[in-house]
Structure 1
Amino acid sequence: MSFQWLKHYMPRSLYARSALILVLPVIVVLLVVSVAFIQNHLQGIIRQMTYNASRQIEFLIDQVDEAPDRGAALTRVEPMLPALQMRLRFLEPEEVPPAFIRWFDFSGMHVRKLMRAAVPQMLALRFNADSSVQLFVDTVHGPLEIGFHRSLVTVSTPHQLLVTMVAFALLMTVISFLYLRNQLRPITRLADAAQAFGRGRNEPYRPGGAIEVRAAGHAFLDMRARIERQIEQRTLMLSGVSHDLRTPLTRLKLGLSMLEDEAEAAPLLRDVDEMQRLVETFLEFSRGATQAEPEPTDPIEMVRAIVEDAVRAGKPVSLGALEGEGKVALRAVAIRRAVENLIDNAVRYGNRALVSVLLTERSLRIRVEDDGPGIPADLRAEALKPFARLDPSRNQDKGSGVGLGLAIVTDAARAHGGALRLAESEALGGLCADIVIGR
C-alpha cells in the first residue's frame, strides 16, 4: 500500500515536522486514555449510581400509585424525601415540559438511556444548567415531577482527571518543544550557511549541537574550504596563463605591423587579434562571478540599461515584458556580463534578440530569446560546459566563439544560487536562455 499521497499534506519545514512528530503521539494518547476512562470507569460509575436512583424512584412511584389520591400520595411519601434527597409535585398533562440535555453533556445522555430502560413510566428528563434534574413520570394520579441534584446519578466532577491530564500534557509538550527547538537550531544554522555559500556568500559559521550535527558542520566547513581553494587555483592558473600570453602576442603584433608587405601581414594580424580575443575571454572566465559582494540591485533598470547600450552599439536587440518591481541582492557586474554574453550569442547566431524580465516574490528570471537555429535538447547540457563547441547546430557564417560564453553565464547564475536554463523560444523560434535566481 502506497502512502505517497500523504506527502501533499505533510508540513515542509523541519520545525513543523518535528512539532507534528512530538504533538501527534500526545494527542493520540490523550484520546485513547480519555475514551478508555469514559467507557471503563466513568460510565460504570454512572450506571451504578443511576441504578440506585432508579430503584428509589420506582419505590416512590409504587407508593404514589397505592395512595387513593394526590394529597394522600404526597402525605405518604413526604417523610421519605429528605433521606432520598428528592422532591415531588404533581402536574397536569399539558404542564409536562419537553426533555432537555445540552449537546455536550455526555453523562446526561448516558443517564437518560439508562433511566429509560430502568423506569418505564418516564415521560421526560431534563438536566438543567444549575445542576438540577427533573424527571417526569406517569402515575395513576397523573404526571409526577421528581426533582433531585445531578450528583445522585452522575459523578460531580468527571472532568477533573481529563483537565489535569490535558494540562500536564500541554505543559510537557511546551517544555519538549522548547528543548527540541534548541536541538534544531544548529541544523537550521548549517542549512542557512550552506544556502548562503551556494549563492556566493561566505557567512561565518561555527558547528554546534549534537555530535552528528557537529560532524556535518565540520564536513561542510572542509568542503567549503576545498571549493574555495579550487576556485582560487583555477583563477590563478587561468589568469597567469592568459597574462603570460599577452606579452608575446603584443610583440608578434608589433613585429607584424612593421612588415613592409601589408598583404602578407594582414592574415597574420587577424590571427593575432583572434588570439588576443581568446586571451581576453579566458581572463573574463577566470575572474568568474565571485569578486564582489552582492548588493541590492534593480534588475529591470539594469536590463533596460544593457539593452540600450546594445542598441547604441548597433545590435538588433529589443525589450520584451518587464514584470515586477523591487530589488534583488546581485553582483551587478557579473549579471551584466552574463546578460551581455547571452545577447552576443543571440545576435551572433540569429537575426534579432528579445530580452525580458520577470520578478516575483520568490525568484528573478532574465530571459534572452533569438530567432536562430537554437540548440537541440540532447546537446543543451553539453553547451553549458566550458570550451564546449556546438558549431554544427549553429550558424557558421556569423562566427564562432571559444565555448566560454554560456559557461560564464552559468558561473554567474550559480554564484547567485540560481541556474541557466536553455529551451526553445516560443516567441521567436530560436534559443531561449533563462537566468533564474531565487530571492
Structure 2
Amino acid sequence: MAFRWGRGLAKVYPMFFVWLKRYMPRGIYGRAALILLLPVVILQLVMTVIFAQRNYEGVTNQMTDTVLREVELVMQVVDDAPSAAAVPATVQDRLAALDMGVTPVSASEVPTRNRMSWYDYSGRVMVARFDEYLPSFLSLDLTRPTGVHLYVQSRFGPLDLQFERRRISAQNPHQLFVYTFSFGFVMTLISFVYLRNQLRPIKRLARAAEAFGRGRHVPYTPTGAVEVRAAGAAFVDMRARIERQIEQRTLMLSGVSHDLRTPLTRMRLGLSMIDEDDAEPLLQDVDDMQGMLDAFLDFAKGTAEGEAEPLDPHVLMQTAVEDAQRAGRNVTLLPPEGDGTGTVRLRRMAILRAVDNLISNGVRYGARAEVSVLLTDKTLRIRVEDDGPGIPEDRRIEAVRPFSRLDPARNQNSGSGGVGLGLAIATDIARAHGGVLRLGSSDTLGGLRADIVIAR
C-alpha cells in the first residue's frame, strides 16, 4: 500500500509543477520580483499570525478576564438591589470605582446577535470569552461610540452594562500591522530598485544578442556583476569572431568569383570567333558557369547588403513580383492577408533576393508561382507557392543546405536545376532578420510552399 501511495505521489508532483509553471512570470523582472516578494510576504504573514495568536489574542483574553471578574461583582450587587429601578443607583453607590454603567432594558432592546466590525479581531475573541465564562451573557455590541455595551440576564431581566473599550482590548492594535507592512513595502521597494540595477546589464546583453541574431550591430560594453561582465565579454568576443568569419568568407568567395570571370570572358570571346553551331553548346556551358559564379557571389554577400530600415512589406513584395514578371517569370501577387498595418524593419535588397530565389525555384520546377503577404501585429509572413512536384517532407531539411540539389525530387526537365544555393540564401536571409524559412506543401497549387516568417 505504501509503495502504491509513493508511486501516486511521484505522478502528482510533476503534474503540479507543470500546472504551476503556467502561472509563473515569463520575464526576468517578474521572476526576480517573485523571488524577492514571496519570502517577504510569507514572513510578514507568519509574523502577523504569531502576533495575533500569541500576543494580541492573549492580551485580549487577559483584559477580558479582568472585566469578567468586575461583571461578576456587578451581578452580585444587582442581586442585592431591592428592585429593577434601584439597580443603577445601587451599583453606583457600591461600585463607583469600577466606572461601569448599568441600565435595565427590555427584551426587545437586546440585540439578537453580536454587533461588531468585520475586521474587529479582538471583538471576536471577547465574544468567545464572554460566551464561555459568563453564564448570564446575552450579546455584545461594539459598534456604539459610547463604548462597549454588554447585555446580560439578571433576576430583574436584561441589563445593559456600559464601559470603555480600552478596558477590554489594547489601544491602537493595528499599529504593529501598519508598521510591519509599511516597512516591508519600503524595504521591498529599495530591494526592487537595487535588483533592477543588477538586472539592467542582463537586459542590455539580451538586446545586443537579439540584435546580432537579426543581423544588426548594437554597441555593447560589458557592465554589471562579475558573472554578467564575463558573459558580456564572451559575447563580444564571439560576435567579433563571427563577424571576422563572415567577412573572410565574403572576401574569399568574392575573390574567387572575380578571378574566374576573366577566363570566362576570354573563353566567351574565343568561342564567338568560331562556327556558331559548334560554339553553341560551349557557350551554354559558359553561361551556366557564369550563373554559378553569380550564385556563389550572392551566397557570399549573404545579408551584408545595407542596413535594416522600416519598409512596407506589401509595397516591397509588389516590387519583387514586378521585377520577376519583367524577367519573364509567370508569378502573381495575391491580395494582402491579415489585419496588420505599418512597416517592418527589413533589409530591402536581402529580402528581394530571397523572394526572387524562391520565385525562380518555383517557375523553374513548375509552370507558375504565387506570392502572398500576411501581416499581423506580431508577425510578417511572405509565402511563395508553385505548382511543381514539391519536396518530400523527409528531404526538406537537406534542401535548405548550401549546394544541396534534389533533382530526383524536383522536375529535372524544367530547367538546369541551379547550383543548390537558392533556398540556402533565403534561409540565411530569414535567419538574419530573426525569422525562419519553412517549407511545406501548397494547398492551392499542389507544389512547394515556402514561408519566410519574421517577428515584428
Class of the TM-score when normalised by the shorter of the 2 chains: over 0.9
Unaligned runs of 5+ in 2: 1-12
What is the CA-CA distance between 1:288 and the residue it aligns to? Answer: 1.3
Point out the more displaced range, 397-406 or 117-126: 117-126
Q: Is the 8 A contact 1:290 1:415 kept in 2?
A: no
Deviations 1:278-312 (A, max 9, x none): 11111111111122111110001111222233334
Deviations 1:24-61 (A, max 9, x none): 00000000010011111111111111111111112212
**Segments ≥4 residues shifted beyond 4 Å:** none
Q: Of the candidates 207, 210, 228, which is equivalent to residue 195 of structure 1? A: 210
Point out the more displaced range, 31-40 or 315-324: 315-324
What is the CA-CA distance between 1:429 and the residue it aligns to? Answer: 2.3
> What corresponds to 2:280 in structure 1?
266
Number of equivalent positions: 438
Instruction: Sort the Cα spacing of 1:312 and 1:262 in 2 relative to 1 into closer, same or farther, 3 A.
Output: closer
In the alignment, the residues of structure 2 paired with residue 432 and residue 177 of structure 1 have an alpha-carbon distance, to the nearest angstrom, of 49
> What corresponds to 2:3 in structure 1?
none
Paired residues for 1:10-409 under 5 Å: 10-98=24-112, 99-128=114-143, 130=145, 132-259=147-274, 261-322=275-336, 323=338, 324-399=340-415, 400-409=417-426
What is the CA-CA distance between 1:435 and the residue it aligns to? Answer: 0.6
Q: Is the 8 A contact 1:127 1:134 kept in 2?
A: yes
What is the CA-CA distance between 1:182 and the residue it aligns to? Answer: 0.8
Tell me the TM-score normalized by structure 2: 0.93
> What corresponds to 2:10 in structure 1?
none
What is the CA-CA distance between 1:100 and the residue it aligns to? Answer: 0.9
What is the CA-CA distance between 1:228 and the residue it aligns to? Answer: 0.4
Question: Structure 2: which amino acid aligns with 1:223?
Answer: M
What is the CA-CA distance between 1:8 and the residue it aligns to? Answer: 0.9
Tell me if 1:438 matches 2:452.
no
In the alignment, the residues of structure 1 paired with residue 41 and residue 396 of structure 2 have an alpha-carbon distance, to the nearest angstrom, of 52
Unaligned runs of 5+ in 1: none
Point out the more displaced range, 229-238 or 138-147: 138-147
Tell me the TM-score normalized by structure 1: 0.97
Instruction: Sort the Cα spacing of 1:371 and 1:88 in 2 relative to 1 into closer, same or farther, 3 A.
Output: same
In the alignment, the residues of structure 1 paired with residue 75 and residue 366 of structure 2 have an alpha-carbon distance, to the nearest angstrom, of 104
Instruction: Sort the Cα spacing of 1:82 and 1:384 in 2 relative to 1 into closer, same or farther, 3 A.
Output: farther
Deviations 1:387-415 (A, max 9, x none): 01111110111120100001111111111
In the alignment, the residues of structure 2 paired with residue 222 and residue 129 of structure 1 have an alpha-carbon distance, to the nearest angstrom, of 75
What is the CA-CA distance between 1:321 and the residue it aligns to? Answer: 4.2
- SS of the residue 1:301 aligns to: helix
What is the CA-CA distance between 1:80 and the residue it aligns to? Answer: 4.5
Point out the more displaced range, 2-11 or 234-243: 2-11
Question: Structure 1: which amino acid aligns with 2:427?
Answer: T
Q: Is the 8 A contact 2:198 2:225 kept in 1?
A: yes
Question: Structure 2: which amino acid aligns with 1:78?
Answer: Q
> What corresponds to 1:417 in structure 2?
434
Instruction: Sort the Cα spacing of 1:358 and 1:129 in 2 relative to 1 into closer, same or farther, 3 A.
Output: farther
Give the CA RMSD over aligned residues.
1.4
Q: Is the 8 A contact 1:64 1:73 kept in 2?
A: yes
Q: Is the 8 A contact 1:81 1:87 kept in 2?
A: no
